Structures are given as C-alpha cells and as structure tokens.
Amino acid sequence: MSEYYWNSKIEYLRNTRWLYYNDDYLEFLVKNVWKINAPVNIVDYGCGYGYLGLKLLPLLPDGSTYTGIDKGEDLIKEARQIFDKLPHSVELIQGDIEEIQVHRQYDIALCHAFLLHMKSPRDILQKMIDSVLDGGRVICFEPHWIANTANYGFDGIQQSEVVRLGILQKLYEASAKDSGKDGNIGMRLPILLSQLGLRNVGCRVSDKVNFLDQNMDATEKVRLFQSLKEEGIGQELEDPVKVVEQLVQRGLSVEEAQAQYAAELKLLQEFDSDSWFTYAPNMKISYGTVGRE
C-alpha cells in the first residue's frame, strides 16, 4: 500500500466534494461563462478519483475527452473502476505532477483544491499553461480558507465565540510563508494567471450554501451532518496541552493559542446533528485564456 497521504482520503473526498457546488451552477459555467459549445480535450492536474471529470463530462459536448493525472496509485485505481462503467473517453495517469511532463495537446487544463497543497503553485500553473493549446483555457477551483471560515452561520452561538478569524488568518498566513502551501490561494489566482500571461482572466465563487435544517428529511440531515463533520467543522480535538504547543510552534502567542483551542472546543461541544447551521465553502473558480505571441 502506498504511503501517499491522499490515498487514504478517498472516502473523505467522496463525502465532502458535494458540499461545494450545485450541478446547475456548474452547467451555467460550462454553457454561459466559458461557452464551451464544441468538443474539448481536458487534462485535470491532481485529479484524485476523477471528481471534476465526473461532474463536467456529462455537461460537455459529445466527443470531449478527459485525462486525469494524480500521484496517488489508489486514487487512480479508484478512478479507473468508476470510469470503466461510464461511456466517456478517459485516460488516467499515475504520476507526480511536479515531475511528469505533459505535452501541449489540451484545450483546457483544470485543477480542484490542488494548488493549495503545492509548495510552488506558480510553477504548477506554468506547467498547466504549457500543456494547453493556443486559445485554450486554464481553470482552477481553489479555496480561500478565511472566506470559508467566515461563512459559518449558527443559531444561538456568536460566531466570534467559535471562529476566531484574526487568529485563523494569522495561522494561514504563517503556514503559507513557512511552507509555500497557501490555503488562501483562491483569491491570489486571478493575479497569478494574469502575471503568467493569460488573457480574459476572470473569477467566480461557488454557489452552494449548505443548510443543516431541523425540518429537512432525516436521512439527508444525517448525511449532511456527517459530511460537515468530515469537512472539519466541530472536529475532535487532541490533548489541549499538545494542541496549544502545536499552535505556538505555528506562530501564535500562548494566549492566542489558548483562545483558539477554547473556540474549537466550544464548536465541538455545540455543533451536533440537532444544530441549525449554514455553511458556504466559498470556493474561488479562476480562469483565463492562453495566448502566445
């Protein structure tokens, strides 16, 4: 069994991706924003089990193809098992994006929640651009963590008691500075795409607001609550001394670390399947057109 981290996260990916987009919004992007009305060849960087391919291929013109690339052997195996049962033209490649060479043959290069894990996202973006034909597109679905955490809505709880935005922003920025991995990259991407020479750069925001409604269908309520927990909302905590030490190592003062632990503990204690709760992931969808002199 491979030790690649994301190989062990297939169920997490399967159980949380649906929180981000309504299908009709993805269809709107394809048909009304990107105006894809002829077959396209797509390459998906860090494809996982093929989530984007599964969502987009049914919306694209007949004759479109999908190539997915991922480092995870188990993820690619899972993707093959899924797509083998479907009528789409698909190629799945197991390989390290940072090392693999991709020929310039695609109309669209995609990624989804991938660049935030890269130490050099600008280099990956350049590789994506280099794999696209003139006039093609690069499209990136990436998070903006601080906007995500600002988009929790509670009944009976002050958000500031359980979501310490100032502390979280400090943590996110320190992590990006130390590792190069930026959970707020979604808001940087239009800038990066333009700086790398793309034209007609634009950005959209994911539309879905998840509502844990105590009047909703019981089965759907359980499913939503479990997915929200897997997303990390009200997650279980380790020993407080250990957590505080880790937060201090990441750049917080002792007081800030203790306040953050207290907020996370209160959220754990307050958030359950009987809560009224809204959550908007606020994913950023950035895109631009490749044009070479």
- Within 10 A of 171 (CB to CB), how many other CB atoms are there? 21
Please give the pLDDT value at position 293: 66
Which residues have CB under 8 Å from 29's CB, separation 6+?
204, 285
Residue 38: what residue type? A
Burial track 118-131 (b if 16+ CB lie within 10 A, e otherwise): beebeebbebbbeb
Determine phi and psi for 100, rounding to 5 degrees: -70, 145
Which residues have CB under 8 Å from 240's CB, separation 6+?
261, 265
Please give the pLDDT value at position 1: 40
Best CA proximity match to 66, nearest among 74, 78, 75, 51:
51
Interatomic CA distance for residues 244 and 253, integer angstroms: 9
CATH annotation of 5-144+183-208+281-289: 3.40.50.150
Interatomic CA distance for residues 123 and 118, integer angstroms: 9
Please give the pLDDT value at position 292: 79
Nearest 5°: CA angle at 168, between 286 and 111?
25
Interatomic CA distance for residues 76 and 74, integer angstroms: 5
Domain segments of the chain: what residues?
5-144+183-208+281-289
Strands 41-45 and 284-289: unpaired
Please give the pLDDT value at position 269: 95
The CA distances from residue 125 to 135, 195, 213, 259, in Å, are 16, 11, 39, 37
In three-state secondary structure terms, 135 is strand
- Name the residue with tokens 């169920």: 11
Full-model pTM: 0.95
Interatomic CA distance for residues 29 and 26, integer angstroms: 5
Which residues have CB under 8 Å from 109's CB, separation 6+?
42, 43, 44, 45, 128, 129, 131, 132, 136, 137, 138, 139
Q: Is the dihedral of CA 257, 258, 262, 265 positive or negative?
A: positive
Residue 227: DSSP 8-state: H
Mean pLDDT for back-to-back runs of 10 residues, the chain (293 residues): 77 94 97 98 97 96 97 95 94 94 96 96 97 97 96 94 96 93 96 97 97 97 96 93 95 96 96 96 97 79
Residue 133: DSSP 8-state: E
Please give the pLDDT value at position 49: 95
